[in-house]
Amino acid sequence: MEKVSLARGTRDFGPAQMAKRSFIIDTIKKVFQQYGFQPLETPAMENLSTLQGKYGEEGDQLLFKILNSGDFLKNVNKKNIEEGNWKMVTGDIAEKGLRYDLTVPFARYVVMNRHEITFPFKRYQIQPVWRADRPQKGRYREFYQCDADVVGTNSLMCEAEIILMIKDAFNKLGILDYTIKVNHRGVLSGLAGLLSAAEKETSLFVAIDKLDKIGEQKVKEELIERGFDAASLPQLFEVLNFTGSTQNKINFLSSKFSNSEIGKKGLNDLNEVLNLLKNFGATDEHVELDLTLARGLSYYTGCIFEVKINRASVGSVSGGGRYDNLTAVFDSKEKSSGVGFSFGIDRLYDAMEELSLFPKETISTSKILIVHLDKESFHYSLKAAQTIRLNGIACEVYPDQTKIKKQMEYADKKNIPFVVVIGSEEIKTNLFTLKKMETGEQSKLTIEQIIKSIK
């Protein structure tokens, strides 16, 4: 036998995993659609000119490049090959690459179709992306991203709706214990202002991000080491250590940000989002202002989000924020401000598996297997199966005439919850045994009664 294997870092999704993944994806899709988001799909392959330079130098290295078709050596610069300069050779022999994320293809789509698109444009996109990362536990070379964005409006209603969509999705998935951490780029700037550290924002946020893990003392040491003024640190930690509701935190911060216009703007935005939530008839339950939250500092310009499932060992399962110029990477003139967020399908899957949150019904496809005892009942089964299917119930007939034990095993292995047994006696009386596989419970019913009881 030829040895066969998967490409490193990739996975098959068999029926059981697919059922669970579809449960997650279909649930999220439905929520997106309820809020007026429409689907977009872009190709797996993009021109390398579209992808390169968008993800930093490390990102460029992680792009999968596709070898040009035909004689790719024709236009290659021989000198680069002789010198082993593979980076230069890449440009000669590969002009396409695999999608690395969904944001850049989305931006390309918006730039290419800006005259046809109706703005504000609300799109969702659920597709795999590929990264030439070193595979390890929980990190794959092919994985799904699941993004939703609104482009072309500054309305904070969109931020409020993102919170609502996360709540809706989690509620439908059965995830009840989670925290939606929010923060604002302006608030982060306000914090930096407390230390007069506007120029060292990044190193400030990198340090305070570790507060949870290494504690106040170590963070202070690190900040001093990084050149922050020790005298101003107590002010910072007074703010970071303040406990209370999100509303209380906002009020407290307002008193500290009197000199920071951008800080005040951030607080106003957060306040407005909370008000809009109230207008929607929702509460700020699960929502928590987390001043240490700092995502994509160079990209996000307004509210930022990150969602954590509280008793699960995976990291954040959703995140996003407002940005000022999605299409800047392609077109510096057109401004397309928007706000977006994404769900991490793989992490949601792992968390739901860990917390046993998948409903049982996601696992099997068919509800009923019809088991038959002889040729006559096999033929009778077909008619019965068709009647059951016409009533919207997925149903199978074991395709071969074989021992009842083998047919039962098939139902068992495929997790088919009900078996209907048809033999000559059953055909005569028009009463069939319906067996519930989980409990072994049996009842004698007509096909119509079986349909009713399963429905």
Give the footprint of a copy of itself on residues 380-399 (CB under 8 A).
380, 382-383, 385-387, 389, 392-397, 399
CB-based burial, 262-293: b 16+ in 10 Å, e otherwise: bbbbbbebbbbbbebbeeeebebebbbbbbbb
Task: Work out which of 262, 414, 437, 454 binds a copy of itself, going by CB under 8 A.
Answer: 414
Type and span of the H or E element at 96 = strand 94-98
Contact 110, 149 (CB under 8 A): no
Min separation Cβ 198 and a copy of itself, Å: 31
Binding of a copy of itself by 71 (CB under 8 A):
yes
Binding of a copy of itself by 2 (CB under 8 A):
yes
Binding of a copy of itself by 66 (CB under 8 A):
yes
Binding of a copy of itself by 297 (CB under 8 A):
no
The Cβ-side half-sphere exposure at 302, using a 13 Å CA radius, reads 23
Q: 5 to each of 2, 10, 11, 22, 146, how far by Cα in Å?
A: 10, 10, 10, 25, 28
Checking phi first, is residue 101 left (phi over 0); if not, alpha (psi -120 to 50) or beta? Answer: beta
- Nearer to a copy of itself by Cβ, of 116 and 199: the residue is 116
Min separation Cβ 94 and a copy of itself, Å: 5
Binding of a copy of itself by 289 (CB under 8 A):
no
Distance in angstroms (rounded) separating the CA atoms of residues 254 and 117: 39
In terms of Cα–Cα distance, which of 114, 113, 120 is closest to 150?
120
- CB under 8 A: which stretch of 190-198, 252-260, 277-285, 294-302 binds a copy of itself? 277-285
Distance in angstroms (rounded) separating the CA atoms of residues 80 and 92: 10
- Nearer to a copy of itself by Cβ, of 43 and 215: the residue is 43
- Nearer to a copy of itself by Cβ, of 40 and 294: the residue is 40
Angle among Cα 39, 44, 49 to the nearest 5 degrees reads 110
Min separation Cβ 354 and a copy of itself, Å: 22
Min separation Cβ 79 and a copy of itself, Å: 12
10 Å CB burial of residue 341 (0-12, 13-18, 19+) is buried
Binding of a copy of itself by 337 (CB under 8 A):
no
Binding of a copy of itself by 36 (CB under 8 A):
yes
Site for a copy of itself in 78-117 (CB under 8 A): 78, 81, 84, 86, 89-90, 93-94, 96, 98, 108-109, 111-113, 116
Site for a copy of itself in 197-256 (CB under 8 A): none
- Nearer to a copy of itself by Cβ, of 70 and 440: the residue is 70
Min separation Cβ 433 and a copy of itself, Å: 20
How many angstroms from the chain centroid is the CA of residue 395? 32
Binding of a copy of itself by 282 (CB under 8 A):
yes
Binding of a copy of itself by 34 (CB under 8 A):
yes
- Nearer to a copy of itself by Cβ, of 200 and 414: the residue is 414
Binding of a copy of itself by 12 (CB under 8 A):
yes
Binding of a copy of itself by 322 (CB under 8 A):
no
Neighbours of 449 (CB within 10 A): 14
